[in-house]
Amino acid sequence: MTQTDDRRFGEGGMPILGEAEAAGLDWVRAEVEDGSDEHCFEVAPDGEWVHIRQTDDPGAIVTTTRAKWDAFVLGVRNNEFDHFVTDVPPAAPGDRPGPSGP
């Protein structure tokens, strides 16, 4: 998708997706532990963009760049966000696994 597409663009040049554009993307779902379809996180790569939504509110789509998404994924792999979901403090930088870690 480029600025010359028929799509609308918002602040920072991020595309604003309508229902038709969202329906045409290949959404990848991160399943929840209980196996239900509620409150699942979905991601759809779209060229230089990555779109993110939740299954219980599919019209609310957050869009970011591929580079920012890649940085986020690397941070998750390096346990940089664990303190948001556990009571365990973040690991020291030398204790974090690399991108190919567990």
pLDDT, tens only, 54-92 = 988 999 999 999 999 999 999 999 999 888 886 655 566
Average pLDDT over residues 17-33: 87
Q: What is the mean pLDDT of the chain?
A: 79
Entry pTM: 0.69
More confident residue, 32 or 43: 43
Q: Which of 15-24, 44-53, 63-72 has the lowest mean pLDDT?
A: 15-24
* Of 48, 58, 52, the residue nearest 12 (C-alpha): 48
Report pLDDT for 1. Answer: 42
Edge-to-edge strand order for the sheet containing 57-65?
A: 28-30, 41-46, 49-54, 57-65
